Amino acid sequence: MKTQNKNITYDALVIGAGIAGGEAALNLANTGFKVLLVEKDDSVGGKMILLSKVFPTLDCSACITTPKFSEIARHPNITLFTGSQVSNIKKHGENNFTATIHKKPRYVHVEDCTACQKCEQVCPVNVKDQYQYNLVGRKAAYIPFSICSPKAAVIDIDNCTLCGACERACPTNCIDFTMEEEVYDLQVKTIVLSTGFKLFDPLKMPRYGYGVYKNVVTSMQMERLIAPTRPFNNVLRPGDGKMPDKIAYVLCTGSRDVTVGNPICSQICCMYSIKQAQLLMGALPMADVTIYYLNIRSFGKGFEEFYEQAKGMGVNFVKGKIGKITEKENGSLILRYEDINSGKLKEAEHDLVVLSVGALPNNEAKGLFADNLQLDRFNFVDQVELMTSPAKTNIDGVFVAGTASAPMDIPDTILSAGSASSEAISYLMKENAPQPPKSGVKVGQFSGC
């Protein structure tokens, strides 16, 4: 495949366009710096844009995310690259970084695509839809999801049969199979790493039967089932399409568990499970929801009250770790657990089980650097001045925002992104300021300095 080499320069490179990267890019752009925001996915928004509602305000996630990304998309100081990978970041001196960006071909000219979905209708290929977390299928020519940005089709070339049906169906001729990967040599002055987190893969815990028992789903799949852009327009269990009426949540799946290599707490699972339980009680008024927990960690602002609210609504909280899940012939599931309140081993039957999977480090961050980016012992990006400058990494001028450094919820992510952008602005201004700043204020008149 041919490549073009283009040299581009920006003040700041922000890697990852989830909510952390989006917030950091906006902060930098609003103070006058030119930002290149790079996202490897075909849409911005990260995980947040795919959520249903958010705790504890129950704001619709799409409603509060899309305007932010709309602002990013048209900000005069932000250039956005989706479907693009950063690599080979090198530091040559203060305010002097180079990197390479590979913009993979979308095979669709975004500016001409009207998202009419005619290509989707004619595409003969069916594969699993990663944005719906494999609950349903999608085509090889497809719009990633209904509120994606940029809202344009993309060709999944790995699964495409090159039949050309989409090209013929497209009314604006925006599909172009001659597109090639573009390679950019980039020069920037500072970098914000907002590469996010990965979800724990419950296939690593065979005793919970994920991937074998169809009615065992992950919490992210449940997010999709109850989101406004949900696949079925209803909450249905995947095994047989029946509406569930006895739902179980298994907390700490892949967190606080040395046997799967993750001894730490993921900070978010208690709260998102409580939120989902509340939403399910609204969507399925007859359903019972039980949350099996070790400790409920509702520690943030308004969280404890939200937990109390869930108890008041009738969500069942059972203190106990699930040992094993087995499937009955009708697809329902038997959960075996130690009921800590009574000190006895018990079994309970549920017709849908949700595994509240934890947040793991995104291992890709380190690989972006030719220089050595230091990680902590859990493989999150190391915060070298944890107490006084939490956004600083071991490379001066590279700052970390959001869940790339540790599991955290959305408000903490916004704070962390604000922190990283503040450090990046200071770092940029240090180089730009030739003289000590003049403030026009007489300092001497005040005592106590």
Partner 1 sequence: MEKRIGVYICHCGGNISDYVDVEKVRQSVENDDNIVLAKTTMFACSDANQNEMVEDIKNHNLDAVIVASCSPKLHLVTFRNVTERGDLNKYTYVHANIREQASWAHADNFPAATDKTIQLVKAAIAKSRTTKALEPTKIKAERSVAVIGAGVTGMKAAITLAEKDTHVFLIEKESQVGGWVAKWKDLFMTEETGDMIVKQLHEDLKKRQNVSILLNSEVIGNVGSIGNISLKIKQKEEEFDITVGSVLVATGFEPYKPKEDEFGFGKVPNVITLPEFKQLIDHEKGKLMYNGKKVENIAYIYCVGSRQPEGGNTYCSRYCCTATIHAAIEARKKFKDIQNYHFTRGVRSYGKQELLYAESLQGGDIFLQSYEDDLPTVFARNNRPVVRINDILTGGKELEVEADLVVLVTGMAPRSNDTVGSLFKLPRGRDRFFNEVHMKLRPVETVIDGITIAGACQGPKTILESVNSALAAATKSYSNISKGVLETDPQIATIDVKACTGCGDCIPECPFDAISMVEDKGKTVAVINNTLCKGCGMCTPVCPTDAIDLVAFSNVQIMGMIDALV
Nearer to partner 1, 37 or 89 (CB): 37
Sign of the torsion angle spanned by Cα atoms 368, 371, 377, 381:
negative
* Cβ 4 to partner 1 shortest distance, Å: 28
Nearer to partner 1, 316 or 389 (CB): 389
* Cβ 433 to partner 1 shortest distance, Å: 6
* Cβ 418 to partner 1 shortest distance, Å: 2
Nearer to partner 1, 202 or 402 (CB): 402
Nearer to partner 1, 251 or 333 (CB): 251
Nearer to partner 1, 209 or 361 (CB): 361
* Cβ 287 to partner 1 shortest distance, Å: 17
Nearer to partner 1, 40 or 68 (CB): 68
* Cβ 426 to partner 1 shortest distance, Å: 4
* Cβ 28 to partner 1 shortest distance, Å: 9
Nearer to partner 1, 330 or 432 (CB): 432
Nearer to partner 1, 30 or 98 (CB): 30
- Residue 48 and residue 417: Cα distance in Å, rounded? 15
* Cβ 412 to partner 1 shortest distance, Å: 7
* Cβ 101 to partner 1 shortest distance, Å: 23
* Cβ 25 to partner 1 shortest distance, Å: 12
Nearer to partner 1, 86 or 192 (CB): 192
